[in-house]
Amino acid sequence: MSTTVYVPGDSAVRSIGADDVARAITEGAAARGLDITVVRNGSRGLLWCEPLVEVVTSRGRVGYGPVTDLDVASLLDAGCLDATTGATAEHPLSVGVVDEIPWLASQTRITFQRMGVIDPLDWDDWRAHGGLAGLQRTLTAGAVEVIDELVASGLRGRGGAGFPAGIKWRTVAGAEADQKFVLCNADEGDSGTFADRMLLEGDPFTLIEGMVIAALAVGATRGYVYSRSEYPAANDTFRRALEIAAEHGVIGGDVLGTGVPFELSLRVGAGAYICGEETAMIESLQGGRGMVRPKPPIPALEGMFGKPTLVNNAMTLATVPMIVADGGAAYSKAGYERSRGTQIFQLAGNVARGGVVEIPFGLSLRELVEGYGGGTRTGRPVRAVQVGGPLGAYLPADGMDVALDYESMIAINGMVGHGGIVVFDDTVDMAEQARFAMEFCAKESCGKCTPCRVGSTRGVEVIEKIQAGIDRSANLVLLDDLCELMTDGSLCAMGSLTPLPVRSALRHFGEDFQR
Amino acid sequence: MASRRTAWSADEGERVLRGLHEHDRLVLPALQALQEEFGYVHPDAVAMVASFLNVSVAETHGVLTFYHELRTAPPADVVVSLCSAEACQASGSRALRDEVASAIAPVGGRSADGGVDVVEVFCLGNCAFGPAALVNERLVGRVDLDRLHGAVASAREEARA
């Protein structure tokens, strides 16, 4: 009897040896005359347990992890990688039935319901796990009902701004134009985030499905996914996914026999963080410098080449198929106050159990960092946590009892952002982190507005003076003034939010600026 | 990587531009296609792209200099992109960067034997396995100097193959 064994092909897992594990299994099976089929799935997101090898048995998918190539012989010899004996085989690396691991079982996987479960480029496998249900309902229900469902779901933009997705869709749908665009922002530049990358690699058809639904709902005929050059493996996988989707008639000249065209392609950036800002992304997609545009006009009315353009984050678009298939009310049941549904949090940095935690909004940061994350990987005390990427606030260990939802985070001068949580232990120098925030802004500013372009360079200088003990109290006043100016005067979030990490470091870790 | 590259010439440059898909006949995709083919954007290509797309040389130059990744000189066989963003900083990337500066080259530099360029990038999406690096197109997690040397050695072999 043939046995199916899953070894993730996700690039993060490959970066710590998954290919060696897969090779060892194939070679070990051949040497022993065993009939094993190795499937390269995405990652389930339990990165602390990766490489996680899963075996299909009568009990379900039984897992072992973290596995190295050196462990494979003992797994084979113990009968673990066998469909029959694998159900009861014992091994020190066994984590039991993967779906029952509390870290995973306690999550609410909606957007990531197929992540790590399926073979990412196997169309039939994807269909067997509910793929295309949302698009099929779109074809029968029609655009108005789909947008109503999206509004009812309460889904808000997962890129970080948190704008209600349904309202944005309604605006684009209502705009009159000869051409409209749907753009997916997968320019996931925030440190500590990797969910978009995992999606492109682990469940690309779902993103494509979400974009086709969007196109039909708003009346767009052309779409682009804007990804990052730092994600070469994800881009390769996604290009193949586009080809396969076209073969199945989901994209191209005639979407599933409707007579409606939707051409979709991938564009890749060239190492510019600012292109994650939606108007800079549009400029980049038009082939130019990634310069931020003033708003209004909003892209929903005047976006790509001046046409009405729907811009959504990859996570937003990948959530759409489930909302349309199961209804907005079902999605809206999860969540906290005005933050409905689930957020894909990513635990990163110096954390014992890093990975993806998809849960309803409202859990406390402490439960996420200490509960799921298990504290630091180094075993030292947690000192600081940065939430929401390089423009997000640094919070101290005693400030982690905040609920993770859009409004609660704003209330403490922070933000959920794209859901990245970066953990630091007590060796971190927070004055240096503040200096880096300004340096990053100086390097990545598009240069359009003066507060960001000049302010960030001045910010680096003034923090360096404070670090060096030069006229410290006067320079701290100057830094505060500069932060206020950048916040109030910058054109986009890059310049206006860079003060967030700087000021939070000053507020919570003032002693680091007095050394 | 290097072995797959075409040597720059005006004729080859024209060929790449003519091969662009209709939707990609824009400055950034054109420059990216040239870099993909030749490993860099030859300074002579700027006027060529401008003329081909009917835009100004200034606009083309502006795009070329805006994006960190576009380069105007040939890279080494192996490019090591060290992640310098916060999640990797939390996992020791600052110390690694210093070690790499002594052992291979500082950020922005080339190794003494000319075979390896070291550049910095902000986030490779491998934030739970930091420090992370990209060695040519191969992502490496939990990087220390030993693992980096190993990845560089295999990338050099691939480049020679």
Q: Do the chains contact at A190 and B130, CB–CB below 8 Å?
A: no
Rounded percentage of chain A residues whose pLDDT exceeds 70: 100
Chain B hits for A232, Cβ within 8 Å: 134, 137, 139
Taking the Cβ of residue B26 and every Cβ of chain A, the question of whether any pair is shorter than 8 Å is answered with: yes
Of B67, B87, B142, the CB nearest to A191: B87
Q: How far apart are CA A45 and CA A41, in angstroms?
A: 11
- Distance of alpha carbon B142 from alpha carbon A404, whole angstroms: 29
Query: Would the CB atoms of B91 and A390 count as touching at under 8 Å?
Result: no
Q: Which residues of A445-478 are buried (b: 16+ CB within 10 A; e: fewer)?
A: bbebbebbbbbbbbbbbbbebbbeeeeeeebbeb
Mapping DSSP to helix (H, G, I), strand (E, B) and coil, where does residue A463 land? helix
Q: What is the pLDDT of residue A249?
A: 98
Over residues A448-457, the pLDDT tens digits come to: 999 999 999 9
For residue A173, the model assigns a pLDDT of: 98
Interface of A with B in 39-98 (CB under 8 A): 47-48
Give a three-class secondary structure readout of A260-272.
CCEEEEEEECCCC
pLDDT in tens, B29-38: 999 999 999 9
pTM exceeding the 0.95 threshold for the entire prediction: yes
Residues A53-93: pLDDT tens digits? 999 999 999 999 999 999 999 999 999 999 999 999 999 99
Q: What is the DSSP letter of A361?
A: T
Question: How many beta-carbon pairs under 8 angstroms link A with B?
Answer: 150
**Is residue A4 within 8 Å of A39, Cβ to Cβ?**
yes
Q: For A196, name the nearest residue in chain B, comparing CA atoms only.
A: B125
The answer to whether B27 contacts A444, with C-beta atoms less than 8 Å apart, is: no
Distance from CA of B36 to the nearest CA of A (A): 12
Average pLDDT, chain B: 96
Angle at B129 between CA B123 and CA B134, to 5 degrees: 50
pLDDT in tens, A87-146: 999 999 999 999 999 999 999 999 999 999 999 999 999 999 999 999 999 999 999 999
Angle between helix A143-153 and A204-218 (nearest 10) = 120
- For residue A175, the model assigns a pLDDT of 98
Interface confidence, given as ipTM, is 0.96
Whether B93 contacts chain A with CB within 8 A: no
pLDDT of residue A482: 98
> What pLDDT, on the 0 to 100 scale, is given for residue B2?
44
Q: Does A12 contact B at CB distance below 8 Å?
A: yes
Q: Nearest C-alpha of chain B: how many angstroms from A415? A: 16
Is the per-residue pLDDT at B141 higher than 80? yes
Query: Is pLDDT at B4 greater than 80 in this prediction?
Result: no
CA distance A12 to A19: 11
Token pair for A309 = 């353009």
- In order of A141, A232, A499, B4, the CA distances from B161 in angstroms are 56, 21, 49, 10
Rounded distance between C-alpha atoms, residue A206 and residue A81, angstroms: 30
Alpha-carbon distances of A181 from A211, A238, A382, rounded to whole Å: 10, 19, 44
What residue in B sits closest to A233 (Cα-Cα)? B137
Query: Closest Cα of chain B to A151: distance in Å?
Result: 31
Q: How confident is the model at residue B160 (pLDDT cuts 50, 70, 90)?
A: confident
For chain A, positions 353-412, list CB contacts with chain B under 8 A. 354-355, 377, 386, 390
pLDDT tens readout for residues A375-425: 999 999 999 999 999 999 999 999 999 999 999 999 999 999 999 999 999
Spatial contact of A6 and A61, defined as CB atoms under 8 Å apart: yes
Instruction: Measure CA of the first residue to CA of the last residue in chain B; give whole Å.
Output: 9
**pLDDT value at position A1?**
75
Query: Given an 8 Å threshold on Cβ–Cβ distance, is A11 in contact with B139?
Result: yes
What is the predicted pLDDT for the residue at B161?
A: 80
| Confidence tier at A515 by pLDDT (50, 70, 90) | confident
- With a cut of 80, say whether residue A431 has pLDDT above it: yes
Q: Report the alpha-carbon angle A441-A447-A449, nearest 5.
A: 100
Contact (CB<8Å) B134/A351: no
CB contact under 8 A, B91 and A350: yes
Q: What is the pLDDT of residue B159?
A: 87
Is A271's CB within 8 Å of B68's CB?
A: yes
Quote the DSSP letter at residue B109. -
pLDDT at B1: 43
The answer for residues whose C-beta is within 8 angstroms of residue A381's C-beta and 6 or more apart is A375, A397, A425, A426
B144 touches chain A (CB under 8 A): no
Instruction: Give A 119-178 residues with CB within 8 A of chain B.
Output: none
- Selecting from B26, B86, B142 the residue whose C-beta is nearest the C-beta of A349 gives B86
Average pLDDT, integer, range A230-251? 98
pLDDT 10s digits, B79-116: 999 999 999 999 999 999 999 999 999 999 999 999 99
A6 touching chain B per CB within 8 A: no
> Does the beta carbon of B20 lie under 8 angstroms from any beta carbon of chain A?
no
Residues above pLDDT 90, as percent of chain A? 99
Q: Indicate the pLDDT class of residue A324, thresholds 50, 70 and 90.
A: very high
A-contacting residues in B 44-83 (Cβ below 8 Å): 59, 62-63, 66-70, 81
